[in-house]
Amino acid sequence: MIRLQDITKSYSVNKQETRHALDRVSVTVESGDFLAIVGPSGSGKSTLLAIAGLLDAPTEGTVWIEGQDASRWSDSKRAEYRAQQCGFVFQFPSLIPTLNVMENVLLPKTMIGTFRPEDRRQAEQILEEVGLTAHRNSFPSQLSGGEQRRAALARALIQDPKILLADEPTGALDDRNAELIMGLLKGWNQRGKTILLVTHDRRLAKAGNRILRLMDGRTDESGEDDGHVF
């Protein structure tokens, strides 16, 4: 369970001005949840995801993980938590440019965890699920944007994380591939995994069992939309 309590994240634009990327946002994610985070560009979705995944520290507020205040954790404990529990798909290209797709997917095993020969078979299987088998030896620069995104998803899944934090994983994909990925995520969620999904696409957002709407860094409760209740 992840509980974000009154999370504020502010950046100082210049000496006088500060901007709130997030402004007292609270949300609780139970394990097994599929939370869709929606909102206009710049509303703070990526920031929220980063804070929930312990990649960034909030300016104010508390992140509770399984009842513990994560801000009190040491760097190595946070790293361990990320390595064992979290899988990330970022909005921007995030593959290591000097490693090919296969090496990138195996990276969490080889560099951080411990690599075993059977991991390679698992990687092959995940690559097949995201439709990248043909590209396993390609380098990131040789892939299209959508392919890179899918490779990043494969890498996020290799450690079999309990929580998947995905920032527009379908952003650069055509409908068919987007559906493939959504199907994958749903299947993943049905196996009891928690998913935090950022998307602009309200259609995709409905795949989740809950929706969090953000507007200018705040939870948007005006409910001006297609009537989906959360």
Partner 1 sequence: MNSLWIVAWRNIKRKSSRSAWLAGSAAIAALLLFVSYFFVFSMERSLKAGSQRLGADLLVVPKGVGDHAGDMIIAGKVSAFYMPETVVDRIEQIPEVEQVAPQLYLKTVSTVCCGTEGDFPVVAFDPQRDFTLKNWVAETSRTYDKYDVVIGSNAGGGNYLYHYDDAYSVQWVTLFGKEFLIRNVLFPTGMGTDDTIFMRLDAARELSGSKDLGLDIPKNQISVVLVKTQPGMDEFVKREIERMNLNVDVAKGSGLQEVVNHQIRPIKLFSYLMITVMIVMSGFQVMTIFSALVNERRKEIGMLRAMGAARVTAYRLLLAEAMLSGMIGSSFGALAGAALLYDNRALILKFITLPLVFPDWTSGLGIGLAVMLAVTGISVLAAFIPVNRILREQPYQSMREGEV
Ligand X SMILES: Nc1ncnc2c1ncn2[C@@H]1O[C@H](COP(=O)(O)OP(=O)(O)OP(=O)(O)O)[C@@H](O)[C@H]1O
Considering only 28, 42, 80, 121, the residue that binds ligand X (CB under 6 A) is 42
Query: How far is 158 from 156, CA to CA, in rounded Å?
Result: 6
Amino acid identity for residue 122 in this structure: Q
Q: Look at the block and give the residue holding tokens 């995994």.
A: 193
Site track for partner 1 across 129-168, x = CB under 8 A: --------------------------x---x---------
Q: Look at the block and give the residue holding tokens 């290209």.
A: 93
HSE on the CB side for 122, CA within 13 Å?
17
46 binds ligand X (CB under 6 A): yes
Looking at the chain, the number of H-run helices and the number of E-run strands are 7, 10
Considering only 1, 31, 79, 137, the residue that binds partner 1 (CB under 8 A) is 79
Query: How far is 189 from 40, CA to CA, in rounded Å?
Result: 25
Query: How far is 111 from 174, CA to CA, in rounded Å?
Result: 33
Considering only 57, 66, 68, 125, the residue that binds partner 1 (CB under 8 A) is 57
Q: Which does 97 bind (CB under 5 to 8 A by kind): ligand X, partner 1, Mg ion, none?
A: partner 1
Residues that bind ligand X (CB under 6 A): 11, 19, 21, 39, 41-47, 91
* Interacting residue ranges for partner 1, rule: CB under 8 A: 50, 53, 55-57, 75-76, 79-84, 86, 88, 90, 92-94, 96-99, 103, 106-108, 110-113, 115, 155, 159
